A and B are shown apart, each in its own frame.
Chain A
Amino acid sequence: MTSTTRNSKVLSNITKCILLFFIPHFLFAQEEDTTHFQEVTIKGNHQKIEQHTTLTKNEIQHISSNDLGGILQYITGLTIKSYGGIGGMKTLSHRGLGGEHSQLIIDGLPINNPQNGQTNLSNIQLNNVEEVGLNQQNTEQLIPVSGLIKGSSVQLKTFDQQFSNSKIAIRSNLTLGSFGQKEAYLGFKKSNKKTFISATGGYRTYDGEYPYQLPFGDESIKYRRNNALENYHFSVGGGLRWKKNVTIQKLKFSAKRNVIQQELPGAVIIYNDLASETLETEVTSLGLNYTLLNRNLMVKAFATYNNHYIHYNDPTYLNSDGFLDNKYTTNSIISGFHTRYKWNNFDFNLGHDINFDVLESSRNIGQPERMTNTSMLKLKYNTTFFNVAASAFYQSFIDANDIQTHRNSYYKLHPQLSVFTSDSLFKNLQLSIWYKPSSRAPTFNELYYSQIGNKDLSPEESSQINFGARYIKQIKKTLFQIQGNVFKNKVDNKIIALPTQNLFVWSIQNIGRVDILGGDLHITSRTAIRKNWKLNFQAGASFQNAIDVSDEHSPTYRDQIAYTPKITGNAMASVHYKKAGLYFTSLYIGERYSLNENSNGNRLDPYLIFDLSASYNFKLNKNQNIKLQAGFKNVGDISYNFIKYYVMPGRNYFLKLSYEFN
Chain B
Amino acid sequence: MNLIKYTLILLLFATSCKKEEKDDQVITGKDGFKNGLLVLNEGLFQHNNSSLTWVDLENGEVTENLFLNINDRLLGDTGNDMVSYGGKIYITVTGSSTLEILDKKSLKSIGQIQFNYNNQSQEPRKIAYHENAIYVTSFDGYVTAIDTTSLNITKRIKVGRNPEGICVSNQSLYVANSGGLDFQNPDTTVFQIDLNTLNVVDTFTVGKNPGAIIADEFDNVYVVKRGDYASDPAELIRINTQSKTITNLGITATSLSMRNNQLYLSYFDHGSGSSAVSIYDCASQTIITNNFINNQDITTLYGVTPYLEDELICQDAMDFTNTGYLRFFNLTGQLTNSIKVGLNPNTTIHYE
Contacts and interface: CB of A to CB of B under 8 A. Distances in A.
Interface of A: 1, 3, 6, 215-219, 266-272, 274, 316-320, 364, 450-451, 498-501, 503-505, 507, 554-556, 594-597, 599-601, 644-645
B322 A320 contact: no
A117 B114 CA distance: 39
A272 B95 contact: yes
Contacts of A594: 47
A503 B77 contact: no
> By DSSP majority rule, is chain A's interface helix, strand, loop, or mixed?
loop
A503 B344 contact: yes
A555 B93 contact: no
Contacts of B162: 318-319
Given A271-B96, A271-B97, 11 more contacts: A217-B71, A269-B48, A272-B96, A272-B121, A274-B116, A318-B123, A319-B162, A320-B179, A450-B183, A503-B320, A601-B65
Given A215-B21, A320-B182, A271 B44 contact: no
B139 A318 contact: yes
Given A219-B73, A450-B183, A501-B229, A1 B20 contact: yes
B229 A645 contact: no
A317 B46 CA distance: 15
B119 to A, nearest CB: 6
B231 interface: no
B96 A270 contact: yes
Contact of B323 (A216, A503, A599): A599
Nearest to B269: A501
B198 interface: no
B64 to A, nearest CB: 8
B38 interface: no
Contacts of A317: 181
Contact of A555 (B21, B47, B119, B323): B323
A270 B48 contact: yes
Contacts of B284: none
A316 B45 contact: no
B252 to A, nearest CB: 12
Contacts of A269: 46, 48, 76-77, 95-96
19 contacts: A267-B47, A269-B48, A272-B97, A272-B121, A274-B97, A274-B120, A317-B181, A318-B122, A320-B179, A320-B185, A451-B183, A501-B229, A501-B268, A503-B44, A505-B229, A507-B270, A599-B323, A601-B51, A645-B46
B48 A320 contact: no
B121 A644 contact: no
A216 B74 contact: yes
A596 B122 CA distance: 31
Given A269-B46, A316-B121, A499 B321 contact: yes
Contact of B20 (A6, A507, A599, A601): A6
B100 to A, nearest CB: 10
B23 interface: yes
Contacts of B319: 498-499, 554
B20 A504 contact: no
Interface residues of B, number: 61
B265 to A, nearest CB: 16
Interface in B82-115: 93, 95-98, 112, 114
A445 to B, nearest CB: 16
Contacts of B20: 1, 3, 6
B47 A218 contact: no
A190 to B, nearest CB: 50
B281 interface: no
Nearest to A645: B48
A317 B183 CA distance: 12
A195 B7 CA distance: 78
B224 to A, nearest CB: 12
A594 B121 CA distance: 25
B97 A217 contact: no
Contacts of A500: 270, 320
A452 to B, nearest CB: 11
B270 A501 contact: yes
Nearest to A451: B183
A217 B69 CA distance: 9
Interface of B: 20-23, 42, 44-49, 51, 64-65, 68, 71-74, 76-78, 93, 95-98, 112, 114, 116, 119-123, 139-141, 161-162, 179-185, 226, 229, 254, 268, 270, 318-323, 342-344
Closest 6 CB pairs of A and B: A217-B72, A499-B320, A500-B270, A271-B96, A319-B181, A318-B139
Contacts of A597: 321-323
Contact of A318 (B65, B140, B229): B140
Given A218-B73, A270-B96, A601-B343, A498 B321 contact: yes
B135 to A, nearest CB: 19
A505 B97 CA distance: 20
Contact of A503 (B42, B119, B185): B42
Nearest to A267: B46
B318 A270 contact: no
Contact of A217 (B68, B318, B322): B68
Nearest to A317: B181
B318 to A, nearest CB: 7
Contacts of B183: 450-451
A266 B181 contact: no
B44 A595 contact: yes
Nearest to A504: B45
B182 A503 contact: no
Contacts of A318: 120, 122-123, 139-141, 162, 181
A3 B22 contact: yes
A272 B49 CA distance: 14
Given A219-B73, A271-B76, A503-B45, A3 B21 contact: yes
Contacts of B71: 217
Given A3-B20, A316-B120, A320-B161, A596 B77 contact: no
Contacts of A216: 68, 72-74
B114 A271 contact: yes
Contacts of A3: 20-23
A556 B48 contact: no
A451 B179 CA distance: 15
A555 B270 contact: no
Nearest to A219: B73
Contacts of A501: 226, 229, 254, 268, 270
B161 A274 contact: no
B121 A364 contact: no
A601 B120 contact: no
B48 A268 contact: yes
B51 to A, nearest CB: 8
Nearest to B115: A272
A601 B41 CA distance: 12
B322 A555 contact: yes
Nearest to B73: A217
A588 to B, nearest CB: 21
Contacts of B344: 503
A621 to B, nearest CB: 56
Given A269-B46, A272-B77, A274-B120, A218 B72 contact: yes
B320 A498 contact: yes
Nearest to B179: A320
A596 B182 contact: no
B147 to A, nearest CB: 22
Contacts of B78: 503
A507 B321 CA distance: 13
Contacts of B322: 554-556, 595-597
A645 B47 contact: yes
Contacts of B23: 3, 600-601
A645 B182 CA distance: 28
A271 B98 contact: yes
Contacts of A272: 76-77, 95-98, 121
A17 B97 CA distance: 42
Contacts of B65: 601
A498 B270 CA distance: 11
